[in-house]
């Protein structure tokens, strides 16, 4: 059964009538090396014309990934924690950068992650920190701009555009994977309903439409249904009046208190 895209098309029609523009971006997590799935992600990104911010795990990142990305400028590397290792106790949600360890240890690892990926990718690396499992201590957020980061990305609509001086937050909002169940595609009509709700909140002023709307994927675990839905969702959103956000978009720092 094919998804019913009618509700999303109707919502985007209301955006056109209201003269609104949707800022849009795409983040994909857990890259380490070149794989057939990464090649499929690259092809999809190139076909759609929407760059992917590729969250790379610094500790285990391979040089072949850096070599491959030199010829695929639409795949933009960013820093995905340090080792993607859970340090939370069993009764808490997984996290690498919450205060389960000394703050100085977290700071050292975040700095090491930035340095290693700068060595690998050079100027193509965007100075964005993506904490594994989208969880990070507030105390650690305050340290990120001191280390050279300019963006923080987690999940769900941001509470603040600038959680620290010199640091913009650019989150993801829709993840199509059923992580707690089948680990395949969530019910596609429910995903479409979720997308419509998020866009309606923006259109009616309940959430921040200055924040780029982020699609989150994980190429290494995609099955054909996830690939197909991701393609169709992004294609639908690109039909809207949209602005493709980039980490070089200085408008994100307008009003920055730093």
Can you list the domains of the chain with their CATH numbers?
A: 6-241 (3.20.20.370)
pLDDT at residue 253 in the model? 38
Q: Rounded to whole angstroms, how far apart are CA atoms 141 and 137?
A: 6
The Cα angle at residue 171 between residues 167 and 172, in degrees rounded to 5:
160
pLDDT at residue 161 in the model? 96
pLDDT at residue 248 in the model? 77
pLDDT-flagged residues of the chain (< 70): 1, 249-258
């Amino acid at each position: 059964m094919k998804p019913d895209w009618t509700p999303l098309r109707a919502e985007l029609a209301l955006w056109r009538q209201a003269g609104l523009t949707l800022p849009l971006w795409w983040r994909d997590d857990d890259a380490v090396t070149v794989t057939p799935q990464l090649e499929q992600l690259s092809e999809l990104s190139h076909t759609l014309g929407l760059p992917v911010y590729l969250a790379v795990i610094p500790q285990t990142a391979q040089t072949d990934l850096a070599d491959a990305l030199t010829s695929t400028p639409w795949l933009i590397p960013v820093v995905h924690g340090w080792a993607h290792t859970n340090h939370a106790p069993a009764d808490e949600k997984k996290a690498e950068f919450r205060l389960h360890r000394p703050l100085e240890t977290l700071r050292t690892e975040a700095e090491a992650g930035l340095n290693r990926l700068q060595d690998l990718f050079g100027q193509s690396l965007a100075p964005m920190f993506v904490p594994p499992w989208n969880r990070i201590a507030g105390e650690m957020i305050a340290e990120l701009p001191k280390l050279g980061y300019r963006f923080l990305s987690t999940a769900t609509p941001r509470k603040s555009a600038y959680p620290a001086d010199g640091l913009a937050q650019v989150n993801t909002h829709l993840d199509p994977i059923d992580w707690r169940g089948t680990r395949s595609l969530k019910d596609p009509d429910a995903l479409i309903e979720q997308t419509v709700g998020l866009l309606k909140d923006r259109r009616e002023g309940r959430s921040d439409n200055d924040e780029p709307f982020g699609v989150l994927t994980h190429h290494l675990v995609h099955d054909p249904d996830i690939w197909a839905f991701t393609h169709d969702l992004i294609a639908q959103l690109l039909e809207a009046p949209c602005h493709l956000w980039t980490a070089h978009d200085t408008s994100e720092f307008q009003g920055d208190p730093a």
